[in-house]
A and B are shown apart, each in its own frame.
Chain A
Amino acid sequence: MDEAALIQQAQQGDRTAFGQLVRLHRDAVYRFAARWLADPDLALDVAQDVFVRAFNGLGNYRGDSRFRTWLFSITLNTARSVARRQKRRGEVRIDTGAEFIASLTPPDAKAARAEAFARAAAELANLPEKQRGAVTLRVFEGLSFKEIGDIIDCSEGSARVNYHHGIQKLREALT
């Protein structure tokens, strides 16, 4: 069954069809949340919440954008409010995933690469929200600036500017 048919069935309350949609998009939603939040546990909570919200809001999805783009909008809103709540509580964790390179590379190169990845993840997490959103969606998800603008709530041109400013800051910080 194709995605459009699954969406239509899910909109009529079919949870099996919705489960298929979750299966199709969970990697992308988790990936985006994990890159944006730099915290896998929190990203998993957010991803779960995103799909529950998506199910409850399926009636509002009219098919004007790709379903994944719509899910990314919900992901960004959810991640943003979670991050703000955390910041208020003073709990900020940056997990770069660097430990997972452990078995892949020899010790010296491993340490240097882990450090470079940790810095990259930390610098990405330090970007202002819109720049972080634009960079994450462009670099990792390959979205167009039009789609990015829809998600981060600005024009296509502004999404492009946010992306370039973000990349420029990262370049300065990482070189």
Chain B
Amino acid sequence: MTGRNDCDAIGDLIPEFLAGRVSEADDRRVRRHLESCAECRSRANAVSLLQQTPIPRPDPDRWDHFVTEVVEETEHPRRWAWAPRGLWVVVGAIALTVIAVFLFSLLTG
């Protein structure tokens, strides 16, 4: 029998089933259900595809120093870490403008 409740119960087990982490009894139950229910087979295929999707790898250099950097940051929090990156662009642009105006005024006497 493949009622709605049965499909939901099997659906709960699909990730563990695909990862081989269910009991023998549940394994048989899921297999039996999937043989007779096309919709659940299709859901199981979607879950399987997701499980096989590779995780984007982090920058290896940053990853190697990850623990050290975290621990250092707990010791010395970056005071301006909250500021959005765009703010630094604006601050930089203002600083460059001030320097340019200063140099221009020096050159033109």
Contact = CB atoms under 8 A, between A and B. Distances in A.
Nearest to B84: A85
A43 B59 CA distance: 11
17 contacts: A22-B67, A23-B67, A30-B58, A40-B56, A40-B57, A40-B59, A48-B66, A52-B70, A52-B73, A52-B74, A96-B54, A96-B56, A117-B49, A139-B15, A167-B46, A170-B46, A170-B50
Given A51-B70, A52-B74, A98 B54 contact: yes
B52 interface: yes
Given A22-B67, A48-B69, A164-B11, A142 B21 contact: yes
B6 interface: no
Contacts of A65: none
Interface string A72-116: 000000000000010001000001111011000000000000001
B21 to A, nearest CB: 7
B77 interface: yes
B71 A138 contact: no
A19 B67 contact: yes
Nearest to A40: B56
Interface of B: 8, 11-12, 14-16, 19, 21, 42-43, 45-47, 49-59, 62-63, 66-71, 73-75, 77, 84, 86
B8 A164 contact: yes
Given A44-B62, A142-B21, A171-B46, A117 B52 contact: yes
Nearest to A136: B50
B43 A168 contact: yes
A121 B53 contact: yes
Contacts of A31: 55
Given A44-B63, A171-B43, A171-B46, A138 B56 contact: no
